[in-house]
């Protein structure tokens, strides 16, 4: 979070300055290249670098065999993991997205994506969200620390015959589903008084996910996907929680989805505690696990709209209505990883890359993955910590001077909200009374405009730049 409003060069030095790329000269070059991508995010080198000499240096860097995705992003993930051990509450949100390079026929080492008709790569991200505070509505106000973990792969295993596999054979081989909560075992238990909660959607509803979290003292909030059987009573988790008494009702703001507008939904809340029956695995039956269950079921949904029903499995306390609300509203923050993947694909345009090998494309991914964190976090700073003052050296005295020349100095001084709204105005945000908060795309456009102004600051000082 602390790097979000830095100048592109300072930001790049903080996020990539310790990279080990096989030659000590490559790290300073990586910092310069990353600063350019931060200033003008683009999936193609030619889109971010206007001078051929700079573009050529970027190509040379990304073409080096020792410049790998893992080497590029390691410093960022090291910083994030250290930050998450400094105490506080963290939501560690996982999801997977695909990068589509079907039309990029020259790209080598691609795998199958989607229904196997496309070519590309899969990216699995674990986004670290810090809970800065809880508001009166039991809603967590969060900022993004960064990527706790991220991994990519090309799906190359043939699909022919997979459907005829026996359960024993399928469970005995390596499977893509094992990526869920793999970071839990990789990092181990939290330290320094920090509280970590693993959070993911229905695809992560795998018994080993719960085992990994409990073994390593991670909390969890996972949306149920399977009608899991119970160890000591009949029925499934879905059936048992549906029969539990109502705790209360409240409204949830739902984001716009494909084919559905954003809306406010009233949900009925029910909870229970169950003991899950352990499934069979090669080697025997797994031990039962005790989990809490929270159901949020929509009532009075608009005509023609399927009402939501979220069944969440967690180890957070749920005995009181306010506790159950916290679980549900924490789960609503899961959308930030979808927003992050949107920033990666739409904001930085990683799928537009014309690099020709998976090694080069993923080295670029290592840069743009961190740029995307910066893009999304800008909006959160304005809404989560709006009144936090900004020192001139955080965004740079030139940047603040330009914003002040354009819009005047705010009466309360420069804060996260006033700086980011001013930056968004450079990107086209009107800042009218009913306009709400600017989105990250508008802030990004304004930041790019501000960076151009800063470049010509010595000539443009004291003039308008909008």
- Residue 322 contacts residue 137 (beta carbons within 8 Å): no
- CA distances (Å), origin 67, targets 64, 149, 184, 348, 367: 5, 18, 27, 20, 11
Name the least confident of 77-81, 333-337, 340-344, 461-465: 461-465
Q: Give the DSSP H or E segment for 55.
A: helix 52-63
Cα separation, 281 vs 109, in Å, equals 33
pLDDT band at 166 (very low <50, low <70, confident <90, very high): low
Q: What is the rounded (10 degree) CA torsion for 390, 395, 400, 401?
A: 140
CA angle 6, 7, 11 (to 5 degrees): 60
Write the class of the CATH domain 8-70+345-376.
mainly alpha
Dihedral sign computed on CA atoms, order 112, 116, 119, 123: negative
Residue 251, C-beta contacts closer than 8 angstroms, at least 6 positions apart: 264, 265, 266, 267
- pLDDT over 70 percentage in the chain: 93
Nearest to 136 by CA among 314, 269, 322: 322
pLDDT greater than 90 at residue 195: yes
268-299 per-position pLDDT tens digit: 999 999 999 999 888 889 999 999 999 999 99
Q: Compute CA distances 59 → 109, 312, 402, whole Å.
A: 19, 46, 33
Identical topology for domains 8-70+345-376 and 71-341: no
- Answer whether residue 73 shows pLDDT above 60: yes
pLDDT averaged over every residue in the chain:
90
Q: Which CATH class is domain 71-341?
A: alpha beta
Express each pLDDT in 338-395 by its tens digit.
Answer: 999 999 999 899 999 999 999 999 999 999 999 999 999 988 888 888 888 887 777 7
Burial of 155 (0-12, 13-18, 19+ CB in 10 A): middle
* Nearest CA among 284, 258, 80 for reference residue 171: 284
**Residue 445 pLDDT exceeds 60:** yes
Domain ranges of the chain: 8-70+345-376, 71-341, 386-460
Q: Which residues 6+ apart lie within 8 Å of 430 measured at CB?
A: none
Please tell me which residue, 163 or 435, carries the higher pLDDT value.
Answer: 435
Instruction: Give the mean model confidence (pLDDT) for residues 202-226.
Output: 96
Euclidean distance between CA atoms 284 and 53, whole angstroms: 62
**pLDDT score at 402:** 87
Pairing of strands 309-314, 289-299: antiparallel
Indicate if the pLDDT at residue 463 is higher than 60: no
Residue 161 clears pLDDT 70, i.e. is over it: no
pLDDT at 91: 98
- In contact, 316 and 292? CB cutoff 8 Å: yes
Inform me whether the pLDDT recorded for 311 exceeds 80: yes
Do the beta carbons of residue 419 and residue 438 sit within 8 Å? no
Q: Are 198 and 184 in contact (CB under 8 A)?
A: yes
Instruction: Say which DSSP state 67 is in.
Output: -
Tens of pLDDT, residue by residue over 143-160, are: 999 999 999 999 987 664
pLDDT at residue 169, as a whole number: 61
Q: What is the pLDDT of residue 51?
A: 87
pLDDT exceeds 70 at position 24:
yes
At 112-153, the pLDDT tens digits run 998 888 999 999 999 999 999 999 999 999 999 999 999 999
- Say what the pLDDT of residue 437 is: 83
Could you tell me which of 365, 444, 462 has the C-alpha nearest to residue 150? 365
Nearest to 384 by CA among 17, 66, 131, 38: 131
pLDDT of residue 165: 66
Q: Is residue 241 very low, low, confident or very high in pLDDT (cuts 50, 70, 90)?
A: very high
- Mean pLDDT value of segment 213-232: 95
Rounded CA separation 340/144 (Å): 10
Nearest partner of 119 among 133, 130, 105, judged by Cα? 105
Beta-carbon contacts of 222 under 8 Å, excluding residues fewer than 6 positions away, are 198, 199, 200, 204, 205, 209, 210, 312, 313, 314
Note the pLDDT of residue 438: 87
Q: Which of 334, 336, 322 is nearest to 138 (CA)?
A: 322
Q: Which of 74, 253, 50 has the alpha carbon at shortest distance from 148?
A: 74
* DSSP secondary structure code for residue 56 in this structure: H
CB neighbour class for 332 (10 Å; exposed up to 12, middle 13-18, buried from 19): middle
Residue 308's pLDDT is what?
A: 94
Nearest-5° Cα angle at 226, 184 to 303: 115
Give the confidence band of 451 by pLDDT, cuts at 50, 70, 90.
Answer: confident
Q: What is the pTM of this model?
A: 0.91
């Amino acid at each position: 979070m602390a790097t979000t409003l830095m100048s592109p060069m300072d930001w790049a030095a903080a996020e990539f300055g310790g990279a080990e790329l096989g030659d000590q000269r490559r790290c300073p070059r990586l910092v310069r290249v990353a600063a350019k991508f931060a200033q003008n995010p683009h999936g193609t080198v030619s889109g971010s670098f206007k001078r051929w000499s700079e573009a050529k240096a970027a190509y040379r860097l990304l073409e080096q065999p020792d410049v790998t995705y893992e080497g590029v992003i390691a410093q960022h993930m090291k910083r994030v993991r250290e930050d998450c051990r400094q105490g506080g509450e963290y939501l560690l949100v996982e999801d997977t997205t695909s990068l589509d390079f079907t039309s990029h026929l020259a790209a080598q080492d691609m795998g199958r994506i989607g229904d196997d008709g496309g070519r590309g790569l899969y990216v699995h991200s674990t986004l670290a969200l810090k809970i800065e505070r809880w508001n009166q509505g039991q809603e967590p106000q969060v900022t993004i620390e960064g990527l706790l973990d991220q991994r990519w792969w090309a799906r190359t295993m043939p699909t022919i015959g997979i459907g005829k596999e026996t359960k024993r054979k399928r469970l005995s081989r390596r499977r893509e589903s094992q990526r869920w909560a793999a970071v839990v075992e990789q990092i181990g238990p939290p330290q320094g008084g920090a509280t970590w909660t693993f959070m993911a959607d229905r695809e992560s509803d795998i018994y080993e996910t719960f085992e990994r979290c409990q073994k390593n003292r991670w909390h969890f909030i996972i949306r149920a996907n399977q009608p899991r059987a119970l160890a000591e009573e009949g029925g499934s988790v879905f059936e048992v929680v549906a029969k539990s008494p109502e705790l209360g009702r409240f409204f949830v703001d739902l984001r716009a989805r494909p084919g559905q507008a954003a809306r406010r939904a009233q949900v009925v809340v029910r909870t229970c505690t169950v003991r899950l029956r352990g499934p069979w695995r090669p080697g025997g039956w797994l031990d039962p696990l005790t989990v809490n269950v929270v159901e949020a079921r929509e009532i009075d949904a608009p005509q023609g709209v399927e009402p939501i029903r979220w069944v969440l499995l967690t180890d957070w306390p749920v005995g009181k209505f306010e506790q159950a609300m916290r679980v549900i509203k924490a789960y609503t923050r899961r959308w930030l990883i979808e927003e992050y993947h949107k920033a990666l694909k739409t904001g930085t345009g990683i799928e537009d890359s014309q690099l020709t090998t998976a090694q080069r494309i993923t080295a670029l991914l290592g840069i743009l993955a961190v740029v995307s964190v910066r893009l999304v976090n800008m909006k959160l700073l304005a809404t989560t910590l709006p009144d936090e003052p900004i020192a001139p050296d955080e965004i740079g005295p030139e940047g603040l001077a330009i914003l002040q020349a354009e819009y005047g100095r705010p009466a309360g001084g420069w804060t996260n909200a006033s700086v980011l709204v001013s930056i968004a105005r450079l990107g086209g945000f009107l800042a009218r009374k009913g306009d709400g908060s600017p989105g990250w795309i508008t802030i990004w456009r304004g930041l790019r405009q501000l960076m151009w102004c800063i470049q010509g600051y010595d000539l443009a000082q004291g003039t308008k730049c909008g």
